[in-house]
Amino acid sequence: MVTGESIPISKNVGDNVIGGTVNKEGLILVKATKVGSDSFLSQVVKLVEEAMGRKPAIQRLVDKVAGYFAYAVMIAALSVFLAWYFVIAVGGIAMAIIPAVAILVVACPCALGLATPTAIMVGMGKAASNGVLFKSGDAIEILSKVSVAIFDKTGTLTEGNPQVTDVIPLETAAIVTSIGSSSGQQLNALDKDNQAKSEQDKVVLSIAAIAEKGSEHPLAKAIVNYAQNKGIQQINDINLEQFEATPGRGITAVYNGMTIRVGNQSFMQDQHIDPSSSSQIVERLQVEGKTTILVSIDDSVIGVIGLQDTPKLGTKEAISALKSLGIESIMLTGDNESTAKEIARKIGIERIFANVLPKGKVDIVTSVQNEQKQRRRYVAMIGDGINDAPALTAADIGIAIGSGTDIAIEAGKVVLVRDDIYDVVTAVEIARKTISKIKQNLIYAFLYNVILIPIAATGLLYPAFAGIAMAASSVSVTMSSLTLKRWSPSRKSNNN
């Protein structure tokens, strides 16, 4: 099983299930929508195989150095032959050939060529077994140099499943005045259907749910689900006359002649609606770390809805671990600053960017990259949503949460198979360990040549023994890379 959930997860009709998971109870009918090469496991295998075949920058550098090294060795062998033939063993061609051939044999750059790909292969395999998929060797190298990690908030640091905590209507007079007589009849009818004439909060909730039913935003879904749980069931039977979403701000809908707007304070102001009557309520809810949504009819705000999203399990531990690795964590969110600060305080993030529109995420990433250029360090972006894809692409390296959208996964250079934010730490650890092993292998390979080439030049190393030594160097580099298999993450995933 590839998902690794620790507890059973409820599935409803139409939900996707993954091959290898177990039906705990009851009888289900499953339709295979992806089989063979299209299955998730096949895609993972293909991704790992393709990644292993791509050379990281350090490998390209080694290949270039090996090319010059080969010329240097041939020149050294020729020089040694001439020295033996004309100076040391004058006229003794056999005596001159032996050290020259020994140099050519012992200096074969096999070890140099194996140093990087063997470590990359083992490192990628180890990462995949721990729920981290690297799309290329370059991704490993870049991630090992990351100094800043920018996290999207909703769905990445938090559960992405906000819950309605407060529905606060404004004064009755304000509601009646705002909707007018004809709209008032519609509202009263809706109130009657819900058997909640005396409950103004259900009126506000009903109006908000009617408008939000056309949106796919997590906050919209939370409002609609909460309304249905409160017994407001007729939402799905209502047809909107008009619907328009403003990404990151709010929505506008028309129902039975009423213009309904649901969104944040800045959205209301842009629509020329005065939100001042709700300012105190909004401020109080935001201090509590809640996201606030205003509901208006025509030109007046009729109520405020408060929602709260909780941090994912292990998020605080992951941020702390990144800090110990020398990586600064930054939170990026379209939420208000007060709510963002409260979430950041809970998980240990000190720097935040709030009230960021989807199109502004790329600008933030670029700005942070410019800060890091002088240090020659890299910036990682971690996200899961459709609007995170541009930022994932713009960052030096994008890390996509596997439970997120397909476009985010496509945009990321690293994919976390499990919905566990601590896997970001695991990815950094294995990247640094792999690059460290590559450097160690290269040191072994060069040190071997530095020691044995002079010995071969003196004639003390017979060509047959030089061949054995050359083979031993390749084996030693390979064995060194295989020691990566013994590596284990600093903390086992919560989903293990």
Identity of the amino acid at 344 = A
**Pair 436, 447: CB distance under 8 Å:** no
Q: How far apart are CA 223 and CA 205, in angstroms?
A: 8
Q: How far apart are CA 187 and CA 118, in angstroms?
A: 69
Residues 6+ apart with CB under 8 A from 285: 166, 292, 304, 306
**Pair 422, 493: CB distance under 8 Å:** yes
CA 348 from chain centre, in angstroms, equals 19
Question: Pairing state of beta strands 300-308 and 291-297?
Answer: antiparallel
Greatest CA separation found in the chain?
A: 118
Question: Pairing state of beta strands 163-169 and 397-401?
Answer: unpaired
**Pair 184, 300: CB distance under 8 Å:** no
DSSP state of 17: -
Identity of the amino acid at 127 = A
37: buried, middle or exposed (CB in 10 Å: 19+, 13-18, 0-12)? exposed
**Pair 456, 466: CB distance under 8 Å:** yes
Q: Tokens standing for 37?
A: 């090469």
What is the per-residue DSSP string for 213-230?
TT--SHHHHHHHHHHHHT
**Pair 235, 267: CB distance under 8 Å:** no
Residue 423 annotated among the catalytic residues of the structure: no
Residues 6+ apart with CB under 8 A from 96: 80, 81, 82, 84, 85, 88, 89
Q: How far apart are CA 104 and CA 96, in angstroms?
A: 13
Q: Which of 15, 63, 138, 152 is catalytic?
A: 152
Residue with tokens 């008009």: 242
List strand residue ranges (DSSP E) for 235-342, in order: 242-246, 250-255, 258-263, 291-297, 300-308, 328-332
- Which residues are part of the catalytic machinery? 152
